[in-house]
Amino acid sequence: QLQLQESGPGLVKPSETLSLTCIVSGGSISSMNYWWGCIRQPPGKGLEWIGSVYNSGTAYYNPSLKSRVTISVDTSKNQFSLKLNSVTATDTAVYYCARQIGGGSWSLDHWGQGTLVTVSS
Amino acid sequence: QSALTQPASVSGSPGQSITISCTGTSSGVGNYNLVSWYQQHPGKAPKLIIYEVTKRPSGVSNRFSGSKSGNTASLTISGLQAEDEADYYCTSYVPPNTLIFGGGTRLAVL
């Protein structure tokens, strides 16, 4: 059964870089039918798509975050990673990893449990 | 891009049917059959319940159904049950290569 597990520091200082790793188990990140996505949810608020990456390294990003975001993939470790630069308190959120159905579906069929990242000095 | 528009809250009694709307633009919802719906219980990760407007993933109850008319997609839950009380989010593909979420709708089962 496919599982995604987010891993990262729970606390990041303002202006620094938030780094999150998503470890995929029970399936291959190299599968040709899927992309891999990052989504976040500020406390008490709605969901926001951050971006998605394919096993080739091709990535698409939310235009509102594009200047600060990089999502990369490491097929040898079956994981993908999110980096968000120059964070502020507004980046405090639960960050989720998810599998995105390929073939143009743009739906997210498996999610990790999420990890809370707080931006604070 | 702006978020898709959903009602903040809806409510219904057990056994009733409710519908949640999700309004976008002609370039997104109106032009592509790429609307999905997610159910999120408090403290839990979202769960995909409808994709590509009308399709249900394996294991999702047939009490959940989706539809679309013009720039508005809808999620209907029939035979409401207490366990359906949750937040519901829609998403839509918007070119080029962007996914947007709705603001979310809280469903209360009275």
d(CA A100, CA A84): 20
- In this complex, the residue of A107, A112, A113 whose CB is nearest that of residue B51 is A107
User: What is the per-residue pLDDT across A17-76, written as a single tens digit (0 to 9) for each?
Assistant: 999 999 999 999 999 889 999 999 999 999 999 999 999 999 999 999 999 999 999 999
Pairwise CB contact (< 8 Å): B93 & A60? no
DSSP A4-51: EEEE--SEE-TTS-EEEEEEEESS-TT-TTEEEEEEEE-TTS--EEEE
Give Rg (Cα) of chain A: 13
CA–CA dist B38, B25 (Å, integer)? 20
pLDDT at B30 over 80: yes
Closest residue of B to A112, CA-based? B45
Amino acid B1: pLDDT:
65
Mean pLDDT taken over chain B = 96
* DSSP conformation letters of A68-109: TEEEEEETTTTEEEEEE-S--GGG-EEEEEEEEETTTT--EE
CA separation for the pair B30, A29 (Å, rounded): 32
Which pLDDT does position A27 carry in this prediction?
95
> Which candidate from B38, B47, B99 shows the least CB-CB separation from A106?
B99
DSSP-derived pairing of the beta strands A108-111 and A79-84: unpaired
User: Inter-chain contact A105–B34, Cβ cutoff 8 Å?
Assistant: yes
B36 and A108 in contact by Cβ < 8 A?
yes
Confidence band (pLDDT; 50, 70, 90) for A104? confident
* A77 confidence band (pLDDT: 50, 70, 90): very high
pLDDT at A103 over 90: no
Please give the pLDDT value at position B44: 98
Contact A82, A64 (CB under 8 A): no
